[in-house]
Each structure stands twice: as C-alpha cells, then as structure tokens.
Structure 1
C-alpha cells in the first residue's frame, strides 16, 4: 500500500462523520476518485482492483460481483465501485475499487476555498474545425427529411496545450465551487492505450445531469435536454430562461428524452412518476430544460448500475431512434468519444449508487487537455445555433481552467 495513504488525515471508516469539504481539500496526486453530488461526497485513494473489459451488461454484472468479493477478501470493510462507462458499449469501461474510500454528505459550496484560477495561456485546436461541424449539422438536417431519424447529438472537442501543466486540485476546486447543483468528478484513468504515463490521465468535469440514482428502493432520474446560453445581464438572462421554457423546438427535443427514459425505467419499477412538463435549471453558463423522475424499483436486486445501463444511452447524448442516431454519430463525428457522454459515478454492495451523464468534462493529461461538448440536433436546428450551444458548453471547463477564450475562437 502507498505509504501516503497511511499518513492521510482522513479517517478510513466509510461512514466516519467527515466534512465533505475536507474530502475536497484532501484531493491530490494520490487520489484516484472524487465524486460530489447534491447528496453525497466521495474520495477514493489507491487501487485495489479494476475491471478491464467492455461494459456489456451480462459480463459487467459478473465482473462487478467479482470485484466486490475480491475487496471483501482483502479486508476492505465497505468496498465502493467507482468509475466511468463509455458512450459505446464496445469500448472499455474504467471501473475499480479503491483501496480506501471516504464518504461525507453534501459539499458546503459557499465555504469552498476557491481562489480565482491562475490565467492559463494555451494553444487551442478545434476537433473538428467549425466548418466541418457546420457541415455535419447540415447532413443531419438532410437525414431528418429523408430517413426516420428525429434527433442526433453531434459533438466536437477542443484540444488545449497548456505549457506549465494543469493544477488538477485547483481545477477540481473551481468546478465544485461554481457548480453547486451538479455532479463534480475527477477520475484516475490509470493507463490508456497500453502505455504508462508519468502523471495519471484524469477525467474531470461538472455534469448537470443525473442519469439515475438508487437509494434503497427509491430511484431518481433527471433527464436534461434543451439548452440556451445565459446572459450576464440579469433581465436578458431571465428572458432567455422563459424563452427556453416556451420553445417548441426545445420542448420537442426534451420530450424525446423524457419519453425514452420513462419507457426504459417502467419495466423495472413498481411505481414511476413523470411530471407532464419540464422545469428550468441553470448552471453558471447555461439554462436547461429538466424533468425530475421518481420511482420505486420493483426488484431490490436491481442495482443503480443496472438501472443506468438500462437507460444508457438516452436521446440526450445519442438521439432518436437510437440505432439511426448511433450510426449517424459514427459517420459524422471525426473522433472517438470514449468516456464522454457515458456515465460516471459509484456503486456499493447494497446496489445503491449515483451515475451522472459524463458531460461538461475533459481528459486532463499533464500539460494537455481535451474538452468535449455536444448539441442535440432536431429538424428545427440550425448549424449556427448548435455551434453557439457547444461553445457555451465548453465554458464550464474553460472558465474553471482560467482560459479566457473569445467566442469567435470557438466558432
């Protein structure tokens, strides 16, 4: 075991009454997992064992059981499975049991010590270039007119080279401080492509979207779809929120997601409550349409991870119908999503857990960062509006990194 773990000031007991902010303060190079939700905060150190296979449901359930059994045999009193599953089930999941896991309640966001980020001057490359993304949206609009495709989510990335490196602790603190109602995460990816790296490659972000949680037999899902950038002017900002709530285009996009979530969860639930209309939620940079779904799991053996896999991928990250949307993504996106638009979270031995949609995120590797953003394309979309939406979504990570990028550089 890493000697640093023995010196940690955090009690080892999972249920020790440790302030959540102390877990955030103790995130450092030896931490392998951090996850903060509106309910709980987790910090993991070390690596007991990890899963290396793709995230297919039957195989995954068997291997997760083996990981928990192995942890118990090693003397880990209350093992927690941490990690992320990819967008595409054929890609590898990053799931593991930390050697030590600490849990506390909700972060006290107003008390987070987050100094202004040090200004970062980095070189940025768009993947793909804006003109290529524009063409992809045009092609999606053509398919709406000629096929049964109703929605497809198309994404792009920013590659940032930051000389001097990224301070991951400061980045995580910024994400947590400025996204109080979301899901802040930092996940050690260990090795990628079979090659060891000196500093761990990390997946970091602050997602506004809960895919699903389970606590006892109670499940909660919070599909989000329909987005507008916020304004710094309070009057204009409020008007944008109201316009989003009245937008036929965004309400249609949102309804596709909510209907799919309800259909996926209904066979697994004794009860399921789906509000008839969405509400508004906001982050520091965006307005979203949101529907909070509640239910009771029919079979107590159905875990939070089972529920998450039943839902994934929702039309919020893929499209509708799923098979047509997935095929369009493969053809129109010139990069592999990997863990982006998958799910990130935790699971315990009782089946309780929380899984957020892996958005507003980046892969952080020493002095290189790859940021991701996507937009839901429907028949009423325009390439210009979707480019603007993805640019606004990049702001969550760019702002936390201290990277002041003019809007025109993202379009």
Structure 2
C-alpha cells in the first residue's frame, strides 16, 4: 500500500507541475471563485445553474475561453480469482488522461461548453493493452436571452448538445450525476451492471436540439429531439464508435420545479426519452427496437459556511419493445422493463473536507437469454467516498464501491464461481483543473 501511495503522490506532483494553478475559464470570465458555481465539480449551486441556463454568458468575453483538467489514480478490485490479466493496471499508479475545454462566453447571447478528452487508458480491442485516444466528450452550445421585469423573470434559449441530460442543471439526472469519477476497472471483465439507454447509451453519438425556458427561477420546461450525429454535426461524435444508432429524430423532455430560500434549495422533476434504435449500429437500414425511458428526480442543497449538505435521488423506468429478429436470439421476450434507482448524500466542511454516501440499484424483467446464468439483471450496491480539496480546483478522493448483488446473484453470478463482492473496487484518485 505504501508503494501505491508513493506512485499516486508522484502522479499528483506531475500534474501540478505543468503550470501554476489558475481558475478555470468560467471563473476567469465571471471573476467569481469556483465555489460560487460548484459545491464540488461538477455539482452546481443555484448561481451555477443560472450561469449554465444563461448560456455561459455572464461576465465578460475572453479572447481564449480555454480550460483543462487531468486525472491520476490507483485502483484495486476485490478479487481477480487468479486472472490478473483481466484487470489491467490494477494496483498501479496511472495517469488516466485529461480534457481540454473551449468553455465560455462567445457573445452577449451565445456561449458554450465543449470538452475534448484524451483517454490514456483506452483498452485495445481483444487485448489487455492500453493506448492513448482522443475523442469528443460532452458538448453543450447555447443561444439564450433573458427578460427581467418586476413581475416576470424568464430565461429562455436553445441548447445544441451530444448527450441526453448533459444540458440539465440539476445533478440528479444521468449525465452529471454521482459518481462523478469511477475506476477504469469497473466492469473490466466484460460484465457490467445494466443501464437504461438514457444513462450514457447515446453519449457522444448523437446530436440534440432543445428549446427551454426557466420561469421566475422556479419552473423549468424543455422539449427537443435527438438523432445520430452525422454530416455537418459529425463533430459531435468525432473519435467515438457508434454503439446505438438512432433512427430519425427522437423526442426528449424535461420539466422541473425548483425553489431557493436562504441557504436552502430544492428541486423535483421528470425527464424522458422516446427512442428507436437500429438493431445493427453499422446498418442504417436494419430494423429497430423501441425504448421509452421515463425518469423522476429530486435534489436538496443546504449551502452555508462552514457546513454544506446536498442530496440527490432519481428513478428511471425503461420499457423496451424488441425487434422480432432479436426475440429468441438475444432476448427471451418481445418486451422487457428495466428500472434504476440512485440515492446520494454529501457533507462538506469548509468546502475542503467531504464525505459522500451513495446507493444504487437496477431491477428488471427476467430474461434467460440476456442473462443466461441467473436470468436476472438485478444489481445493487453502495459507494462511500472521502474527499480533500487541496485547492478549490484540485481534489483528492478515496472511493469504495461495494456490490450487494450483481446481475441477479450474490454468489456465482457468472457460473464460474465469481461473487458480487469480488467486484468491489477501491479507487484512490486526484483531479485538477486549470
């Protein structure tokens, strides 16, 4: 363990030696400290939500609205069962990679968040080797306006983005929900917990355009649609292989109510996506399956000095009607359901010391073809994380993910004697933005 700590410390020094730590581009633009917008990146405060809904246009235009971040870590999985090669680089200090952001105000009504990521732990297909790979990451480009009168406060605009819910301003919807970082060993054996389509299944493969409005800092409305990023919009999937090819334009919606008073803030809402996905992602002429994802979410924040407490909860139900070609081959039934539940609470003292506890659960329809050993997708577990902010834009975290059940079983879920707890992961990381 001492060796692990030393390697991580060396990685941290490498990251911080690149330049003196400066505020990210939005902080430079507004003149505000990082904590004005973030509890801890990427969780937003009320001011941070208004900044994002205003199209990242508050403050003054900068000639080069650039920022960057980098990460390094050490990971350890509960048990390799003697197959160390299936869990590459575990117990090793690794520089995971980093991102470059073009992020800030481009004009009085136009702003953007554009992330490009270098993944140093991109696993080569069919091997246990890694190679560096650069690809587009989350993007959110906005055109906005603001009407402010004695009896009316209305922020409205358009968002062009490449990941359903990435444009959302509450951290209870999938794109920016907890955990904000996770180990590269998660699902390393090729068996991962199930997830609904809206939980990243279309990220960096699609382009979506939505119209939204935020009325009197209380009511939020958004409707739009997503389609495959191609042609003039192929930039939004640059460097990413398409795993879920959308057919046509697929509707997305988001409605929420929020209220801020004193040091408190609450939100409750719903979001969803109705999508048709081609059976063969390489063939736009192949038949489609129909996904209907509907989510409910809520958030509470208590922001004071020195104590901060935040909590988020979400529930997503997905109903899928499978194309007939898949029934009897990949899935057992013509239709199936999948439900995900997430609960997370965080406490911060002086915005420096943090403790987060989370719970996750996936439940769904029995299927002996999709899950041949157990016949069930049911997975549950917990996450515990300790954080220390060396500086407002430099974090160190120790995260532990424990599985109570994995794909329908506590023990022998894969038929080869592997138990759910064998997938428990300890993850020690550092993150810095500049």
TM-score after normalising by structure 1: 0.27
Judging by fraction of residues, say which structure has more helix.
1
Larger relative contact order (Cα-Cα within 8 Å, sequence gap ≥ 6): 1
If you compute each CA radius of gyration, which structure gives the higher value, 1 or 2?
2
TM-score by length of 2: 0.26
More strand by share: 2
